[in-house]
Amino acid sequence: MRTLSTGAAKPWRWPRSSALPTPSSCRSAASFAQERCKRGEAGSMRADYPLSFQRECEPARPLLTIATVQTASADRLRTVRNGTGDRLAILGDGDAFTALADQTRDVLIDPALGNWDFFADHPSDYARSSAIEAFLPVENVRGTAFTYAARYVLLRAITHIGNEPAETLSGVRRLIHALPASAIAEVAGHDPSCPQALRWGETVRATVMTGIAGIADRTPGIAPVSIARWLAGPSTVILFVRRDPGRPSYEISAIEVALRDHAMLSGFSTHRSDDEARSTDCRPDHARNPAHRHAPTGSARRRGDQSGAST
């Protein structure tokens, strides 16, 4: 191999101009900077820019408070009733819950009456995705694959029912309940004649029903209530959401998610009281407490779940 000759090797030395700083030189430079500050000359070393990048304060936005009967203070109620622009949504049940409402102007969403206008609050697939995650949270890490498949099936069902006139969320429940396991397997690309594919389809359908089995039919004569229409209406109107402890909480979680989404779209800041954040956290249980394993609720359970406890 041919090499280039560089001549006699010479010892390498630090150039004078790039000599390493010594402790004494550092102290001298610091003292020099301090003297310049005392003389008011430090400003000459500041970079001057032609444009100002100062961040201005954002304008105050109206506030949407999500509270319970216990945390809905009299001051907050008075502020909203005076029409300051802030909004208030109260979740709860019982006589105290009913006593707070003004029967002449306030509105109520009661899952037992089926009067939530779901499709008015979720006009697009993007908006529906948040509700689907609330109805089908990842409660069991081992069943994550089934949960994601169930979310896809639920999205397809909501899209289909949403295109029908005057349909309600209970129509989605009826559609999923009547959907054969072979159809679910075929949509996923499996052979519907394969027994294993049919078992997979049954498990996915049961997972969907776990989240939506508690959805009630709309009571005749009850006007539907939309969160979007409520926020667009007078600010003195308070939204009440009845939360029955004997019913599954999936729909309540979806309502709260819709409250936050529409508040953001309408330019509201959102606040939820501390004890409310602890009692109705919409995140799945394994996210709040990884050591806690939450059994699915509802009339159907996922295949392979050996825990017989219900919440």
Tell me the per-residue pLDDT of 114-123, one tens digit each, with 9 for 90 and over. Answer: 999 999 999 9
Using 50, 70 and 90 to split pLDDT, how confident is the model at 13?
low
Identity of the residue numbered 97: F
Nearest to 92 by CA among 284, 310, 239, 226: 239
Structural domain including 93 reads 65-288
Does residue 33 fall inside a structural domain? no
Task: Provide the terminal-to-terminal Cα distance of the chain, rounded to the nearest Å.
Answer: 79
Asked if residue 12 belongs to a domain, the reply is: no
The answer to whether 65 touches 88, Cβ cutoff 8 Å, is yes
Task: Please report whether residue 27 resides in a domain.
Answer: no
Q: What is the dihedral of CA 222, 255, 138, 285, to 10 degrees?
A: -110
Rounded to the nearest integer, the mean pLDDT of the chain is 79
Residue 47 lies in a domain: no
Judge whether 300 lies within some domain: no
Mean pLDDT: which of 30-39, 147-156, 184-193, 274-283 is highest? 147-156
Q: What is the number of structural domains in the chain?
A: 1
The letter for the amino acid at 275 is D
Task: With respect to residue 29, please indicate whether it lies within any of the assigned structural domains.
Answer: no
Partners of residue 270 on adjacent β-strands: 64
Q: Which residue has the higher pLDDT, 180 or 275?
A: 180
- In the predicted model, is pLDDT for residue 294 greater than 80? no
pLDDT per residue over 225-265, tens digit each? 999 999 999 999 999 999 999 999 999 999 999 999 999 99
Is 24 part of any domain?
Answer: no
What's the farthest any 2 CA atoms get from each other in the chain?
Answer: 103
For residue 55, being part of any structural domain is answered with no
Q: Is 27 helix (H, G, I), strand (E, B) or coil?
A: helix
